[in-house]
Amino acid sequence: MPDGDKVNAHLAGGYQKIYKQLCESFLSEEELSHNILLPLKDDIKRLSNEEVFHLIESVAERMGQLIIDIRFGCEVNWDREAMLIEQHSRYLSLKKTAKNLLLEACKDELQDIKHGFTSHNLKVDLLKKFFFKIYTAKFEAKVFSAREYQDGASQASVRQRLSGMREGVWNGLLDYAKQAIQNHSFEKLRRPKTRRVKFNMSDLDEDLRTALR
């Protein structure tokens, strides 16, 4: 069986159509990034509202205090803060993969704060990072790691198109995060219209490298 078929078989049903469209090259990266928001929405809606929001809110509150402490010149024990996040997540009943991705997103936010990058809305930023990690794990990393692709698509072409999808996916997941925080629920998510916001490509590259380990 060609590697391309293996990749297709390992993708959840909602992502197989996007994979086929990716390899066919008929749709633009913008169209692909918009299409993939539908299966991503389905995955997000299956998450436990209570479990995810409990961790997001507690971590955001702690990080908000850290930002204040830093402004007043207080020293921060970053290893201890990372351990506190792990302790908060220990009692979540989420599935292992989702739990680990959520934990990674929280630690990424902690690293951003450590290096001076702070968000005006920590809850949205935490959810956005978590959602993008779901996308990377569910789709991008699986497709990116293949040696051959469906319909004879070249590796260079598929990887280039994956890279071209990232901004649209990032923007769409940011919109999902804002909706979820506003409604305190994943149930009412609506696929957003395409819009552009600034994002850090290095963060996305790091997500992909982590998923491929």
- Tell me the pLDDT tens digit for each residue of 181-196: 999 999 999 998 765 4
Best CA proximity match to 179, nearest among 120, 131, 136: 131
Residue 196 to residue 34: CA distance in whole angstroms = 12
Which tens digits make up the pLDDT trace of 110-162?
Answer: 999 999 998 899 999 999 999 999 999 999 999 988 888 988 899 999 999 99
Cβ neighbours for 62, distance < 8 A, ≥ 6 positions apart? 81, 84
Taking residues 52-80, what's their average pLDDT?
Answer: 96
Tokens 């994002």 — which residue? 199
Residue 197 pLDDT level (bands cut at 50, 70, 90): very low
Which tens digits make up the pLDDT trace of 16-34?
Answer: 999 999 999 899 999 999 9
Is 113 within 8 Å of 59 (Cβ atoms)?
no
Q: Which two tokens stand for residue 6?
A: 């293996």
Name the residue type at position 77: N
Rg (CA), the chain: 18
Domain count, the chain: 1
Where does the chain show beta strands of DSSP type E?
A: none
Boundaries of domain holding 174: 3-212
